[in-house]
């Protein structure tokens, strides 16, 4: 029998990244007793720890124009964002930035001491500043939380929310090293567990431990989930144009193969642009992360990275940024010298993007108000766990993820504290706790079963092909779903653990199976293409019918339903289609002609 520990609080925050730390600090400011728990080590965990440091701050004092920012998010998100939430995250950002300054975090400065702000090619007016790598500034937030009296619990994986009379009353889980059982009675709970991945090499590899934990436990408890069809941030399937004017001749060039463990993103410093822009297909036509899948689908791979196309001043600035950000080791580790130029294959690692939900509030546990409350009383969410729709069907610009995390984390923490004041002491039903405990330790009690590492490989085999979650089609989605249903019904109940670590892997596998089912069902439900969701069999946007959301609720079995957005959020329907949607999908023009 595993040892049981109980830690009671007014507000329980699950997840120790930017959103979770802001939630804990703001709840503590309201006078609540706060517990912050993470399955890893708070401030060395979550997407924030591995964030490259872009932080989007909106301020009229910095010369920003609200209307132009809102319009850019609206158009790039193809009208699925909630403009009220977008405006909230913009206007709140300057105060969250000041909070960071008060905690000792400093943004990069220009010569003379002014804050360095910058935008990136293709993102219009959406500027950001540079905080440095997440691992450099997140410890300051942990110190602030500790100083204020937040109880921090490291290395405990929370697996389940506990409800009493339909209201969230806490959560429970286990220590990932000792397997001790932890119970956290709480008057309010804030989920800040971030996004999820399927642990592929490439851009998302550093956050391979993210496994949709908060989304999965919220769904099992009865909360609404949304936006799960937008599940390949960092890639899209827009048309890869053959622009002869921008063509680069790569014939006869020596093509170097980047090692399999190449870091994919070298750095995101303010001056870096060439390593994002200078990709070409095998015929020399320029592509980007948003168009490369189409080129590959047409048989124009591999995608090549042409370092020789970088201007000397860009290269110099990039190398300086890499040194400043202390990420030189990423290149040294694989033996690549940027200064020597050359043409490389194997750098644009799109296989890591499928399954990574859209940053900044574009997917997750549905927020029912502007305080990050979910459909379950007593449950709040922040950061990438919270579906606010502050962004729409595409990620609008660098820095929106960190900004959204700080803003929604702060709002959720404060609202949870206010909610906790209305409740008396929490008492958790012992029989309910016994059933949860049986579920948590089920894999440890088995004598035989399936290794979670093997299950992990099955999931990777499903999502890695570009034709699964980047270029989608109904018959393929249904085929993948059939396999996932088998994993859910036959494999998941028979997962086997030998120790605390493999028990963690079992629960992560369960959560990933559940999340992938949500992605596939949502992708099947949205019978159109929009943003980073592309269906070969439905290659155009369908207005006004699909000016709507796809949501999920567990009612015995997974129920997927459509919810129209308010007409006030619609685009101007009198405008021509191509003006509303400047980005083209493969097959879209033909589909529109046939429709006419």
pLDDT digits (tens, 9 = 90+) for 448-505: 999 999 999 999 999 989 999 999 999 999 999 999 999 999 999 999 999 999 999 9
Q: How confident is the model at residue 205 (pLDDT cuts 50, 70, 90)?
A: low
Name the token pair of 182.
């932890």
**Average pLDDT, integer, range 564-589:** 95
Name the token pair of 297.
């689908």
Q: Vertex 343, ends 342 and 348: CA angle to 5°? A: 130
Name the token pair of 442.
């089920």
CA distances (Å), 72 to each of 44, 55, 245, 568, in order?
A: 33, 17, 27, 17
**Average pLDDT, integer, range 85-101:** 97
Spatial separation of the C-alpha atoms in residues 563 and 82, rounded to whole Å: 13
% of the chain at pLDDT higher than 70:
94
pLDDT tens, residue by residue, 409-436? 999 999 999 999 999 888 898 999 999 9
Q: How confident is the model at residue 203 (pLDDT cuts 50, 70, 90)?
A: low
Contact 137, 43 (CB under 8 A): no
**Which of 226-240, 267-281, 324-338, 447-461 shows the lowest per-residue confidence on average (mean pLDDT)?**
267-281
* Predicted local confidence at residue 526, as pLDDT: 99
Name the token pair of 374.
């979910």
**Average pLDDT, integer, range 532-550:** 97
* Predicted local confidence at residue 273, as pLDDT: 45
Domains with residue ranges and CATH for the chain: 244-352 (no CATH), 443-595 (1.20.58.100)
Q: How confident is the model at residue 318 (pLDDT cuts 50, 70, 90)?
A: confident
Q: In what order do the strands lie in the sheet with 54-55?
A: 54-55, 128-130, 117-118
Q: How confident is the model at residue 331 (pLDDT cuts 50, 70, 90)?
A: confident
CA distances (Å), 110 to each of 103, 107, 117, 344, in order?
A: 21, 10, 9, 33
* Predicted local confidence at residue 568, as pLDDT: 96
Average pLDDT, the chain: 91
Q: Burial, 450: exposed, middle or buried (Cβ in 10 Å; 0-12, 13-18, 19+)? A: buried
Residue 277 clears pLDDT 70, i.e. is over it:
no
- Cis upstream peptide for 545 (omega within 30°): no
* Predicted local confidence at residue 596, as pLDDT: 67
Q: Which residues contact 118 (CB under 8 A, 6 or more apart)?
A: 127, 128, 129, 130, 270, 271
Spatial separation of the C-alpha atoms in residues 469 and 487, rounded to whole Å: 18
**Which of 6-15, 167-176, 278-287, 374-383 shows the lowest per-residue confidence on average (mean pLDDT)?**
278-287
Find the helix or strand (DSSP H, E) in which 14 lies: strand 9-14
Spatial separation of the C-alpha atoms in residues 62 and 92, rounded to whole Å: 14
State the residue for tokens 């697996």: 159
Residue 530 clears pLDDT 70, i.e. is over it:
yes
**Which of 26-40, 229-243, 384-398 shows the lowest per-residue confidence on average (mean pLDDT)?**
229-243
Q: How confident is the model at residue 175 (pLDDT cuts 50, 70, 90)?
A: very high
Contact 440, 160 (CB under 8 A): yes
**Which of 190-204, 261-275, 441-455 shows the lowest per-residue confidence on average (mean pLDDT)?**
261-275
Spatial separation of the C-alpha atoms in residues 496 and 507, rounded to whole Å: 10
Q: Which residues contact 84 (CB under 8 A, 6 or more apart)?
A: 370
Question: Nearest to residue 349, comparing CAs of 228, 188, 470, 434?
Answer: 470
Q: Vertex 113, ends 107 and 117: CA angle to 5°? A: 50
**Average pLDDT, integer, range 208-222:** 94
pTM equals: 0.94
% of the chain at pLDDT higher than 90:
67
Residue 595 clears pLDDT 70, i.e. is over it:
yes
Residue 211 clears pLDDT 60, i.e. is over it:
yes
Side-chain-side CA neighbours of residue 330 (13 Å): 20
Start-to-end CA distance of the chain, whole Å, equals 68
Spatial separation of the C-alpha atoms in residues 386 and 405, rounded to whole Å: 9
Residue 360 φ/ψ, nearest 5 degrees: 80, 20
Q: Which residues contact 594 (CB under 8 A, 6 or more apart)?
A: none
**Higher model confidence: residue 228 or residue 245?**
228
Q: Burial, 462: exposed, middle or buried (Cβ in 10 Å; 0-12, 13-18, 19+)? A: buried
**Average pLDDT, integer, range 271-294:** 78
Percent helix, percent strand, percent coil in the chain, to nearest 5? 40, 20, 45
Question: Nearest to residue 201, comparing CAs of 353, 49, 352, 50?
Answer: 352
Residue 276 clears pLDDT 50, i.e. is over it:
no
Q: Vertex 581, ends 578 and 585: CA angle to 5°? A: 95
Residue 266 clears pLDDT 80, i.e. is over it:
no
Name the token pair of 565.
């957005």
**Average pLDDT, integer, range 336-358:** 80
Residue 552 clears pLDDT 80, i.e. is over it:
yes
**Higher model confidence: residue 118 or residue 8?**
8
**Average pLDDT, integer, range 342-369:** 86
């Amino acid at each position: 029998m595993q040892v049981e520990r109980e830690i009671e609080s007014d507000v329980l925050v699950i997840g120790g990244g930017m959103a979770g730390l802001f939630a804990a600090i703001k709840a503590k400011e309201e006078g609540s007793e706060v517990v912050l728990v993470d399955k890893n080590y708070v401030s060395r965990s979550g997407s924030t720890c591995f964030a490259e440091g872009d932080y989007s701050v909106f301020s009229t004092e910095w010369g920003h124009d609200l209307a132009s920012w809102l319009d850019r998010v609206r158009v790039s998100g193809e009208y699925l964002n909630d403009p009220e939430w977008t405006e909230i995250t913009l206007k709140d950002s300057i105060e969250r930035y000041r909070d960071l300054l008060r905690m000792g975090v400093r943004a990069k400065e220009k010569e003379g001491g002014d804050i360095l702000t910058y935008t990136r090619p293709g993102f219009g007016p959406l500027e950001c500043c540079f905080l440095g790598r997440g691992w450099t500034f997140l410890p300051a937030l942990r110190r602030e939380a500790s100083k204020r009296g937040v109880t921090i619990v490291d290395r405990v994986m929370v697996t389940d929310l506990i409800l009493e009379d339909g209201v969230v009353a806490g959560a429970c889980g286990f220590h990932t090293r000792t397997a001790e059982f932890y119970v956290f009675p709480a008057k309010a709970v804030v989920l800040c567990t971030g996004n999820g991945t399927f642990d592929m090499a490439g851009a998302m590899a550093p956050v391979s431990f993210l496994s949709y934990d908060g989304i999965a436990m919220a769904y099992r408890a009865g909360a609404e989930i949304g936006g799960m069809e937008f599940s390949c941030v960092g890639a899209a399937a827009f048309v890869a144009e053959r622009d002869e004017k921008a063509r680069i001749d790569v014939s006869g060039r020596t093509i170097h193969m980047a090692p399999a463990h190449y870091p994919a993103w070298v750095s995101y410093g303010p001056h870096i642009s060439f390593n994002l822009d200078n990709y070409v297909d095998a015929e020399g036509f320029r592509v980007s992360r948003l168009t490369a899948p189409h080129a590959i689908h047409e048989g124009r791979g591999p995608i090549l990275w042409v370092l020789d196309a970088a201007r000397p001043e860009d290269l110099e600035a990039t190398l300086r940024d890499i040194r400043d950000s202390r990420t030189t080791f990423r290149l040294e580790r694989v033996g690549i010298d940027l200064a020597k130029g050359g043409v490389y294959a194997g750098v644009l690692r799109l296989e890591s993007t499928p399954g990574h939900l859209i940053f900044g509030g574009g997917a997750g546990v549905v927020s029912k108000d502007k305080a990050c409350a979910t459909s379950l009383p007593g449950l709040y969410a922040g950061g990438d766990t919270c579906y606010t729709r502050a962004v729409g069907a595409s990620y609008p610009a660098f820095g929106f993820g960190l900004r959204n995390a700080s803003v929604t984390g702060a709002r959720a923490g404060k609202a949870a504290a206010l909610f906790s004041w209305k409740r008396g002491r929490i008492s958790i039903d012992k029989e309910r706790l016994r059933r949860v405990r049986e579920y948590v330790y089920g894999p440890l009690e088995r004598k035989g079963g399936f290794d979670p590492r093997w299950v992990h490989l099955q999931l990777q085999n499903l999502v890695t092909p570009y034709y699964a979650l980047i270029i989608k089609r109904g018959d393929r989605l249904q085929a993948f779903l059939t396999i996932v249903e088998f994993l859910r019904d036959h494999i998941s109940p028979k997962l086997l653990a030998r120790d605390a670590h493999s028990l963690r892997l079992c629960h992560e596998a369960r959560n990933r199976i559940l999340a992938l089912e949500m992605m596939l069902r949502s992708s099947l439900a949205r019978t159109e293409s929009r943003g980073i969701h592309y269906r070969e069999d439905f290659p155009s946007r369908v207005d006004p019918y699909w000016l709507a959301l796809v949501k999920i609720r567990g009612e015995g079995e997974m129920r997927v339903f459509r919810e129209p957005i308010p007409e006030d959020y619609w685009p101007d329907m009198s405008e021509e289609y191509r003006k509303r949607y400047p980005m083209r999908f493969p097959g879209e023009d033909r589909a529109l002609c046939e429709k006419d």
